[in-house]
């Protein structure tokens, strides 16, 4: 297996300022690529795709081949952990994920965490295959959904909701919700450790649904559980860098960074770079910002915004990324242009 030797991406997460600025994009492997669509058509459904190491590894590698990104991110889904913990998880075209609802944390205890983590062995095989195919200067990112985000799907039963059911749980059944979060913390920690054991060089925790939470719930549902998850990872002996992404965390972002022992933080589209530089420690790596819709629009506004973000973070560790994932409508030519600008900027 080719091991990672020198990586601008890992150096940046270690607190160094790298030139050129390393780049990868959330959802860089996916529906905007014709080669992905061709590959996806070979799987009977999305879960089959995720659990097929040959296809998942190929999907992970496709954007590296096309764009030369500095890091690949494992092709999987944040809801696989619910699937192996015993819930019925489906992905319906045009609808998204449909998840069997839970009533208590015991609904996730019908399968032991050890057995659940073992059931994810196809994912670890994917990691091994990708690490074996990547050049030694390209990093591989493993990931999981953050406890609150994953719990929300289990409570609401699907995506695309107003999140009210899960928030009402937080008010009416706070102890039950914390029990559920604790199960997910333990399962996710072991899942991430297994990814690292298989060859992942860094980890990312996707807190996709931090947006809109009151400050007190942000503390109890996002910041506290994320901190416990990272602490548990370190207890398990995981030493690779960790990126946290509290999407929509707004003014609680400094509290998140202060309390969660991460090496880098993902920034959503709405965060102001000036706010980031004023409130976050200068040694923590930042990643994100660019509006994914600019990859559709292209042109001068896209190019100017790329340079604006690069200039804003000139004096701190910075990984270039998006504020959310690449959309299916993104232009390949626009992605290529963004990469070119970053490679040429100094």
- Which of 40, 66, 158, 228 is an active site residue? 40
Residue 65 annotated as catalytic: no
φ, ψ (nearest 5 deg) of residue 97: -75, 140
| Rounded Cα distance, 48 and 55, in Å | 9
- Which of 67, 124, 153, 191 is an active site residue? 153
- Which of 11, 31, 179, 305 is an active site residue? 31
Residue 167 annotated as catalytic: no
Residue 119 annotated as catalytic: no
Residue 77 annotated as catalytic: yes
Residue 314 annotated as catalytic: no
- Which of 8, 70, 77, 191 is an active site residue? 77
- Which of 27, 129, 247, 316 is an active site residue? 27
Q: Which residues are catalytic?
A: 27, 31, 40, 77, 153
């Amino acid at each position: 297996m080719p091991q990672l030797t020198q990586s601008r991406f890992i150096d940046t997460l270690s607190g160094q300022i790298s030139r050129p600025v390393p780049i990868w994009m959330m959802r860089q492997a996916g529906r905007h690529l014709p080669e992905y669509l061709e590959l996806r058509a070979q799987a009977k459904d999305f879960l089959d795709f995720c659990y097929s190491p040959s296809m998942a590894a190929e999907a992970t590698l496709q954007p590296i081949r096309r764009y030369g990104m500095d890091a690949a991110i494992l092709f999987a889904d944040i809801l696989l952990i619910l699937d192996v913990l015993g819930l019925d998880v489906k992905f319906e075209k045009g609808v998204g994920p449909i998840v069997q609802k839970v009533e208590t944390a015991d609904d996730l205890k019908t399968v032991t965490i050890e057995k659940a983590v073992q059931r994810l062995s196809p994912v670890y095989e994917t990691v091994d295959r990708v690490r074996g195919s990547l050049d030694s200067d390209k990093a591989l990112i493993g990931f999981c959904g953050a406890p609150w985000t994953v719990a929300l799907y289990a409570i609401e039963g699907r995506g695309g909701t107003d999140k009210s059911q899960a928030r009402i749980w937080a008010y009416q059944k706070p102890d039950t919700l914390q029990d559920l979060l604790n199960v997910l913390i333990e399962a996710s920690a072991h899942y991430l450790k297994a990814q690292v054991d298989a060859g992942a060089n860094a980890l990312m925790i996707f807190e996709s649904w931090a947006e809109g939470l009151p400050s007190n719930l942000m503390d109890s549902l996002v910041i506290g559980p994320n901190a416990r998850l990272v602490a548990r990872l370190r207890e398990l002996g995981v030493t690779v860098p960790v990126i946290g992404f509290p999407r929509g965390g707004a003014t609680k972002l400094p509290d998140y960074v202060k309390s969660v022992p991460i090496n880098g933080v993902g920034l959503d589209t709405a965060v102001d770079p000036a706010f980031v530089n004023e409130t976050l420690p200068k040694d923590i790596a930042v990643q994100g910002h660019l509006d994914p819709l600019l990859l559709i629009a292209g042109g001068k506004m896209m190019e100017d915004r790329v340079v604006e973000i690069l200039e804003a973070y000139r004096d701190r560790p910075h990984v270039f990324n998006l504020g959310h994932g690449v959309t299916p409508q993104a232009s390949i030519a626009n992605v290529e242009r963004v990469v070119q600008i970053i490679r040429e900027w100094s």
